[in-house]
């Protein structure tokens, strides 16, 4: 094998490992920052205190500083939710929550953002289990919980008291759904 072919093989293998590593990461996860919010059902909500799965919580976090990317993450996470719901993973013991996470939003536009986002979740997830988290610093929010901040939506499996255990990123796939379902079963 020639040197260029060896290098190409190493690059391809490294690329494939990088893609696999983005899915199903379990690192030394931290804890979530507290954020006051209102659910899309217009109820007061304190994240993470009011998250209430009795065994596990599945958090769908769309974290982006860019509107277009945030909307893409939101759509991808709703697809994940649907795929996992079809597998019957959600119950009182394992609850799903959706949180678009936005930083640096002026107070006078927050109501308009909530209204627009409520419409995109209505009929897809329980509105009392979805809310926009308005925060000051996106990097700090992700870092405090030990999560990677990138262009992909984040699915976090967390304990009943909302300590992050494992997170997943990537496109919706049968293999990915199987991996998340297996992780939920293992962590229950």
Per-residue pLDDT of 121-173, as tens digits, reads: 999 999 999 999 999 999 999 999 999 999 999 999 999 999 999 999 999 99
- Torsion region of 136: left, alpha or beta (phi above 0 gives left; psi -120 to 50 gives alpha): alpha
Does 6 have pLDDT greater than 70? no
pLDDT tens figures, 67-78: 999 999 999 999
CB 98 within 8 A of CB 81: yes
Whether the pLDDT of residue 9 is over 90: the answer is no
Mean pLDDT for the chain? 87
In this structure, the number of other CB atoms found within 10 A of the CB of residue 106 comes to 7
Residues 6+ apart with CB under 8 A from 113: 102, 105, 132
Cα angle 97-98-100, degrees, rounded to a multiple of 5: 150
The pairing of strands 94-103 and 56-63 is parallel
* Structure-model confidence comparison of residues 37 and 1, the more confident one: 37
Q: Which residues contact 107 (CB under 8 A, 6 or more apart)?
A: none
User: What predicted TM-score, i.e. pTM, was given to this entire model?
Assistant: 0.85
What pLDDT sits at residue 19? 35
What's the confidence (pLDDT) of residue 29? 79
In terms of CATH architecture, what is 25-187? 3-Layer(aba) Sandwich (3.40)
Q: DSSP for the chain, please give it.
A: --HHHHHHHHHHHHHHHHHHHTSSB------PPPEEEEBTTS-EEEETTT---SSEEEEEEEE-SSHHHHHHHHHHHHHHHHHHHHTT--SSSEEEEEEEEEES--GGGHHHHHHHHHHHHTTTS-GGGBB-EEES-HHHHHHHHT---SSS-EEEEEETT--EEEEE-S---HHHHHHHHHHHHHH-
**Cβ neighbour number for residue 97 with a 10 Å cutoff:** 27
pLDDT at 36 over 70: yes
């Amino acid at each position: 094998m020639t040197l260029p072919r060896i290098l190409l093989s190493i690059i391809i293998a490294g690329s494939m490992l990088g893609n696999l590593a983005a899915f199903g990461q379990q690192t030394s996860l931290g804890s979530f920052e507290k954020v006051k919010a209102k659910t899309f059902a217009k109820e007061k909500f304190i994240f993470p205190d009011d998250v209430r799965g009795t065994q596990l919580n599945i958090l769908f976090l769309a974290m982006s500083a860019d509107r277009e990317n945030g909307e893409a993450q939101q759509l991808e996470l709703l697809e994940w939710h649907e795929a996992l719901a079809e597998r019957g993973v959600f119950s009182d013991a394992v609850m799903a929550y959706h949180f678009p996470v936005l930083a640096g939003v002026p107070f006078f536009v927050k109501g308009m953002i909530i209204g627009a986002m409520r419409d995109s979740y209505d009929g897809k997830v329980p509105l009392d289990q979805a809310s926009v988290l308005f925060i000051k610093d996106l990097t700090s929010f992700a870092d405090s919980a030990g999560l990677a901040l990138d262009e992909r939506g984040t699915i976090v499996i967390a304990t009943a008291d909302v300590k992050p255990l494992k997170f997943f990123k990537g496109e919706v796939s049968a293999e990915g759904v199987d991996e998340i379902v297996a992780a939920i079963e293992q962590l229950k």
